[in-house]
Chain A
Amino acid sequence: MKKYKVVTSISYPKEGAMGKTGSWRVYKPTLDKEKCVKCLRCWIFCPEGAIKRHKDGSVEINYDYCKGCGVCANECKVKAIIMEREGKEE
C-alpha cells in the first residue's frame, strides 16, 4: 500500500483499527450451518466485514468485530441466522 507524506487526516485500512468492536454487541447472531444455502447475502451486507467467506462458499461470523447490528439476520432468506441477547438483561 502506498503511504502519503502529506499531513492531513488519512487512515489506511487495517484489521481492527478501532480495537475489538465485538465488545459493543448486545445481540449475538448465530449461524445454523444446516440451513445455510451459501447465497452470501450476509457476507455482502455485513457493514463491518465481520463475516468471513470460505473457499467452499460457507461463511463464518467473526465475533471479535461483529457489533450485533442484525443486518445479516435480516437479509438471510432462509432464516439461518438468529439474533439472541447476550449476557443478562438488567
Chain B
Amino acid sequence: MTIMIDTGNYIAAKAAVLARPQVVAAYPITPQTTLVEGIANYKGTGEYKGEYICVESEHSAMSACIGASEAGSRTFTGTSSHGLLLMHEMLHWAALARLPIVMCNINRVVGPGWNIWADENDSISQRDTGWIQFYCSSNQEIFDTVIQAFKIAEHKKIGLPIMINYNAFILSHTSMPVMVPDQKDIDAFLPPYEPQWKLDVDNPVTHGNIIGAEYYEKIRRAQHEAQEQAKSLIPTIAKEWKEQFSTYHGDLLEFYQCEDADHILVAMGAIGAESKAAINKLREQGVSIGLARLRCFRPFPTEEIITLSKQADLIVIDRNISVGSTGAVYQEIKGALYGRSDANVTGFIAGLGGKDVTYKDIEKMCTKAIKEPSHSQIWYGFKED
C-alpha cells in the first residue's frame, strides 16, 4: 500500500490502470480532461499493458469500447460534458447490450455559455440510458469506486455499464492524499473479466438483430431487474472492499449524523462532501440535522429515502436542473415519497455553472428550509439584474 497525493483525474487514471483493462478508448481533446492523459502516460511508461485507442470523437470512443467489450475485453474510458453528450446514442447501446464498460465522467457545464466548471446537467441528461451512476465526493472515493465498479458491472447478475461522476475542478483538478493498494491486492479483489456473452468466431452469433416487441420488452425488463439487483450488490461490494482495504464511503447513500436527526439533507457530489462541514456547524447550534449523501443515482435508493422521510423532513440540493421541471434529485425524491410519506421536502438549486457552494451557503439553505419548510424548490442565492 502506498499513499499517492494527486488530482481526482490522475487518481482515477491510477485506479483504472490497476484494474487491468484490456482496452481504453478515448478522445483526447476538450472537453476531455487529464484523466485520459494520465492513462496515456501509463501506456508510455509501460505500467498500462492494454490497448490504448485514440479515437476521433467521443461517439467513436464509446463505440470502440462497445466493440472491445463485445469481444470479451475489460474496457474503460473517460469523458466530460459535451463529450458525454456526443456518446449518448452509444450509451443506450452499451447498456442494452449488457456490456460492463466502466467510464468516468467529469461533471462539467454544458454550453453554450462555454465554461468548464462543475455542473451535473451532463450526466443527469444520461439518466435514462440504463447505466448505473455513481457520484463521488473525494479522490479516495473516486479510486475505490472505479475498482469496485468493474466488480459490480461484471457481476453475472448485473452486466451493466457504470458511470462514475465527479465534479470538475473541485475534485478533478484538486490534489488529495489517497490510499492506493498494491497491484496484487487489487488483483485478488478483482479477478479477470469473464464475459457473459461475446462475439466469438468459434461460436458465431448475431448481435443487435431485429426483434419484435415481445422480445424487446423482455430485454428492457431484464435490464431493469439488473439495476434492482445492483441495489443489494453495491453495498455487498462496498463492505468487501472495506474489510480488505479499510476505506468506506457508504452504500447507495452515505449517512452522516442521521440517527436522531429531525431534518436530513440530501445532496450529491462535491456539495455532499461540503455538507458535512455545514452539518457540524448546525449541530453546534443545536439543530437536529444529518446528511444522506447520494452516492448512487441509478439505481435510485427509493426504499432508503422513504425510510429517511419517516424520521425527518428532507432538504435537497441539486447542482442541476431539468428545465421546465425541477432539479433531478428533487424530482426523484418527490416521486419516491408520493403517497408514502408526509415529510416536507424543501429543494434548492445551487452551484449551476460551477458557482461556488460553500458550507456557509449550505448552512443558510438548511436554516431556511427548517424555518420555512415547503414542498417547492428555491434557486439559492439567485440575483436578478
Seen from chain A, the residues whose Cβ lies within 8 Å of a Cβ on chain B are 1-2, 4-13
In Å, the complex CA distance between A11 and B208 comes to 8
A9-B159 CB under 8 A given contacts A4-B196, A4-B197: no
A9 touches B196 (CB 8 A): no
In Å, the complex CA distance between A6 and B218 comes to 11
B205 touches A10 (CB 8 A): yes
B371 within 8 A of A: no
Which among A2, A4, A6, A8 has the highest number of chain B CB atoms within 10 Å?
A: A8
New A-B pairs, 13, CB < 8 Å, besides A7-B218, A8-B97, A13-B204: A4-B196, A4-B197, A4-B205, A6-B196, A6-B197, A8-B96, A8-B197, A9-B96, A9-B215, A9-B219, A10-B197, A10-B206, A12-B205
B203 touches A1 (CB 8 A): yes
A8 touches B207 (CB 8 A): yes
Chain B interface category by residue count: 10 to 19
In Å, the complex CA distance between A8 and B159 comes to 10
Seen from chain B, the residues whose Cβ lies within 8 Å of a Cβ on chain A are 96-98, 159, 196-197, 203-209, 211, 215, 218-219, 222-223
| Number of A-B pairs, beta carbon distance below 8 Å | 43
The residues of B that contact A8 with a CB separation of less than 8 Å are 96-98, 197, 207, 219, 222
The residues of B that contact A2 with a CB separation of less than 8 Å are 203
Would you list 18 pairs from A and B whose C-beta atoms are within 8 A, ordered by A residue? A2-B203, A4-B196, A6-B197, A7-B98, A7-B219, A8-B96, A8-B197, A8-B207, A8-B219, A9-B97, A9-B215, A9-B219, A10-B197, A10-B206, A11-B209, A12-B206, A13-B204, A13-B206
The residues of A that contact B197 with a CB separation of less than 8 Å are 4, 6, 8, 10
In Å, the complex CA distance between A1 and B223 comes to 25
- For B203, give the chain A residue with the smallest CB separation: A2
- Min Cβ gap B221→A in Å is 8
- For A8, give the chain B residue with the smallest CB separation: B98
In Å, the complex CA distance between A20 and B101 comes to 39
- For A1, give the chain B residue with the smallest CB separation: B203
The residues of A that contact B159 with a CB separation of less than 8 Å are 6
In Å, the complex CA distance between A7 and B204 comes to 17
- For B95, give the chain A residue with the smallest CB separation: A8
- For B200, give the chain A residue with the smallest CB separation: A2
The residues of B that contact A11 with a CB separation of less than 8 Å are 205-206, 209
- Min Cβ gap A37→B in Å is 31
In Å, the complex CA distance between A4 and B195 comes to 10
A9 touches B209 (CB 8 A): yes
- For A4, give the chain B residue with the smallest CB separation: B197
In Å, the complex CA distance between A8 and B198 comes to 11
In Å, the complex CA distance between A12 and B199 comes to 11
- Min Cβ gap B38→A in Å is 32
The residues of B that contact A9 with a CB separation of less than 8 Å are 96-97, 207-209, 211, 215, 219
In Å, the complex CA distance between A10 and B208 comes to 7
